[in-house]
């Protein structure tokens, strides 16, 4: 059965804006994006919202619902009560374009700062041979849909604009981890993770893992293992000495 | 320019509950541990050879001789240097630098951030890049130290099956066993342990045994938070039980002898 739901939607652009109240029809089985579309169709024809797949796979519809970073298309209306006012705002961490649409190009800049996969010398594409167990671990990270909700939530940049320069954010530190764990990658990425991508700024408070719609264990499986690798190389005199004496590559 | 939203957070759930419980829990346990540390009594049940993990190993000359399973290399010391003073830095160091507890107190005590998508009150933020927090990278050394203390606790728990009247089993024995079981699970599920045992490898296929261990530890590691809390609370309960028996407030429930 349908009902009239109460919504507060942020409207505006870089020059300013605020929350506006709307009453919109809600039907059984709908998600928040359905309601936003109805709002667009019936009351606010110029409301800007980014979306594509409506299936939680393209990562376009990221926003914040009742203050929590979420995908609009994967948040069921049935998780709210009928009387509740639902607040929908754009992602806070990125510059606003209009209404619910933000400029996420920060993330593309960060992606470009990571050197791509570096295969062993003399090995051409097509000649790569790997064991399944060796590539398996980084497969989890490839589930990422690049919604950037983790980047939006991470307090390192969400609360401190000035850290954007130094910090790649969870999504891209995870990319560094993925390459570092790749059985054929020879990029040697551990020092760069700390010195260029700002791994030390992460204080492992796990908000990225909490909001990831793909349920990737970003902190446990990418960030902490990278911190341990950094500790091996930079903060563990015993491992450091062992590596020097035996000239070994872990 | 970001969207202009003046509220610190728009979250409507009880996001403050979890940090509140964390602070309350850790605060309570710290007070208890401090009281017991300076009590310097009721740590040993002579009749059944129960030794509380908080006083193990008991290394100074003021310890009850039978409780010093590893001798008394330290002389009699002034009052405030009670036996736990020599153990607690390692145990506390292990827990303070633990990745889970870090998350817990960074959020709950330092409010950095208090909860996800709730703005932190600090003007600047440098994370774990500078002293003193850069020292968190030394966690693995505390892991080694804690592993040694764990082995000592396991020894104590086994030794406690032989009391003044020979072999016997009481509730105290069961509690001591559960306690070392939880401590072992917590220690093994440590992220540094996971890394050292296998996580650091690039080619699992070349190290089947370490890969197997890494898989087992990874499963445990998924429960690290639960193990952190349950082992911490249970150590206190174990200590409390032994204190109560040692002081004669309650008797030990005996099953055998
Ligand atoms: S765990 Fe690290 S990267 Fe993830 S949100 Fe927290 S500080 Fe950011
Ligand atoms: S890691 Fe998860 S939250 Fe981050 S961009 Fe990828 S899918 Fe989104
Ligand atoms: S529209 Fe594609 S993830 Fe929501
Ligand atoms: S990570 Fe918690 S004990 Fe090591």
Confirm if B239 and B34 have CB atoms less than 8 A apart. Answer: no
What contacts A236, CB < 8 A, 6 or more positions away? B137, B140
What contacts B244, CB < 8 A, 6 or more positions away? B250
Do residues A64 and A173 share a domain? no
Domains held by chain A: number: 2
Best A7, A50, A62, A67 residue to mutate vs chain B (most B CBs within 10 Å): A67
For the stretch B55-70, pLDDT in tens is 999 999 989 999 999 9
Q: What is the pLDDT of residue A247?
A: 66
Do residues A142 and A222 share a domain? yes
Do residues A51 and A82 share a domain? yes
Do residues A219 and A148 share a domain? yes
Q: What is the pLDDT of residue B257?
A: 86
Do residues A125 and A97 share a domain? no
Do residues A130 and A173 share a domain? yes
**Cβ contact A67–B99 (<8 Å):** no
Q: Give the closest residue to B220 by CA, choosing from B254, B172, B247, B186.
A: B186
Q: Is A237 exposed, middle or buried (0-12, 13-18, 19+ CB in 10 A)?
A: exposed
Token pair of B163 as six digits = 């009391």
Do residues A113 and A232 share a domain? yes
Q: How far is it, in rounded angstroms, from Cα B183 to Cα B232?
A: 8
Question: Which residue does chain A place closest to B203, by CA atoms?
Answer: A134
- Omega within 30 of 0 (cis) for the link into B132: yes
Average pLDDT over residues B228-236: 98
Do residues A79 and A119 share a domain? no
Confirm if A14 and A96 have CB atoms less than 8 A apart. Answer: yes
Do residues A133 and A225 share a domain? yes
Q: How far is it, in rounded angstroms, from Cα A72 to Cα B54?
A: 51
Instruction: Tell me the CATH number at A174.
Output: 1.10.1060.10
B141 Cβ closer than 6 Å to some ligand 4 atom: no
Do residues A111 and A98 share a domain? no
Do residues A111 and A140 share a domain? yes
* Domain-ending residue, one of A102, A117, A140: A102
pLDDT in tens, chain A (250 residues): 799 999 999 999 999 999 999 999 999 999 999 999 999 999 999 999 999 999 999 999 999 999 999 999 999 999 999 999 999 999 999 999 999 999 999 999 999 999 999 999 999 989 999 999 999 999 999 999 999 999 999 999 999 999 999 999 999 999 999 999 999 999 999 999 999 999 999 999 999 999 999 999 999 999 999 999 999 988 877 777 777 777 665 4
Dihedral over Cα of A183, A189, A191, A194: its sign:
negative
Q: What is the pLDDT of residue A245?
A: 78
- Chain A contact set for B211 (CB, 8 A): 133
* Domain-ending residue, one of A82, A102, A122: A102
* Across A62-76, A225-239, B83-97, B216-230, least confident range: A225-239
Do residues A131 and A68 share a domain? no
Q: Ligand 4 pocket check: which of B91, B102, B141, B189 to mutate, most ligand atoms within 8 Å of Cβ?
A: B189
Map out the domains of chain B as residue ranges: 17-118+130-256
User: Which pTM was predicted?
Assistant: 0.95
* Domain-ending residue, one of A62, A77, A102: A102
Q: Ligand 1 pocket check: which of A154, A164, A203, A227 to mutate, most ligand atoms within 8 Å of Cβ?
A: A154
Q: How far is it, in rounded angstroms, from Cα A29 to Cα A35?
A: 11
Q: What is the pLDDT of residue A249?
A: 55
Instruction: Tell me the CATH number at A15.
Output: 3.10.20.30
Domain that holds residue A231: 105-246
């Amino acid at each position: 059965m349908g009902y009239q739901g109460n919504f507060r939607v942020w409207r505006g652009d870089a020059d300013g804006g605020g929350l506006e109240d709307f009453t919109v029809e809600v039907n059984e089985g709908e998600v928040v994006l359905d309601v936003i579309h109805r709002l667009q169709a019936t009351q606010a024809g110029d409301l800007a919202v980014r979306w594509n797949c409506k299936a939680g796979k393209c990562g376009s519809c990221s926003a914040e619902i009742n203050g929590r970073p979420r995908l609009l298309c994967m948040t069921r209306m049935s998780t709210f009560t009928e009387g509740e006012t639902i607040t929908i705002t754009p992602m806070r961490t990125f510059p606003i374009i209009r209404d619910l649409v933000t400029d996420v190009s920060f993330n593309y800049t960060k992606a470009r700062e990571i050197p791509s996969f570096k295969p062993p010398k003399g090995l051409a594409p097509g000649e790569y041979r790997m064991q399944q167990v060796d590539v398996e671990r980084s497969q989890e990270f490839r589930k990422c849909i690049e919604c950037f909700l983790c980047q939006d939530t991470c307090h390192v940049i969400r609360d401190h604009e000035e850290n954007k320069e130094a910090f790649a954010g969870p999504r891209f530190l995870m990319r560094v981890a993925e390459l570092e764990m790749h059985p054929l990658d020879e990029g040697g990425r551990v020092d760069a993770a700390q010195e260029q991508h700002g791994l030390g700024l992460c204080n492992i408070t796990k908000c990225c893992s909490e909001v990831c719609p793909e349920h990737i264990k970003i902190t446990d499986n990418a960030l902490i293992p990278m911190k341990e690798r950094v500790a091996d190389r930079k903060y563990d005199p015993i491992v450091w000495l062992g590596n020097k004496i035996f000239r070994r590559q872990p | 320019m970001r969207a202009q939203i003046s509220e610190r957070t728009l979250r409507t759930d009880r996001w403050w509950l979890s940090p509140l419980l964390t602070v309350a829990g850790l605060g309570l346990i710290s007070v208890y541990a401090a009281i017991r540390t300076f009590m310097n009594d009721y740590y040993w049940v002579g009749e059944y050879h129960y030794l509380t993990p908080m006083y193990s190993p008991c290394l100074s000359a003021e310890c009850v001789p039978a409780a010093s399973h590893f001798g008394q290399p330290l002389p009699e010391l002034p009052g405030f240097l009670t036996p736990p003073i020599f153990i607690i830095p390692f145990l506390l160091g292990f827990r303070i630098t633990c990745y889970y507890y870090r998350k817990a107190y960074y959020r709950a005590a330092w409010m950095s951030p208090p909860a996800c998508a709730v703005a932190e009150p600090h003007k600047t933020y440098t994370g774990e890049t500078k002293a003193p927090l850069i020292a968190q990278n030394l966690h693995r050394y505390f892991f080694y130290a804690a592993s040694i203390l764990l082995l000592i606790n396991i020894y104590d728990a086994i030794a406690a099956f032989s009391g003044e009247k020979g072999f016997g089993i009481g509730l105290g024995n069961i509690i001591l066993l559960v306690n070392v079981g939880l401590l072992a699970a917590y220690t093994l599920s440590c992220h540094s342990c996971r890394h050292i045992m296998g996580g650091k490898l690039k080619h699992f296929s070349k190290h089947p045994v370490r890969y197997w261990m890494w898989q087992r530890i990874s499963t445990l590691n998924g429960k690290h938070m639960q193990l952190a809390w349950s082992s911490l609370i249970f150590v206190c309960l174990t200590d409390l039980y032994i204190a109560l028996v040692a002081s004669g407030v309650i008797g030990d429930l005996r099953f055998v002898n």
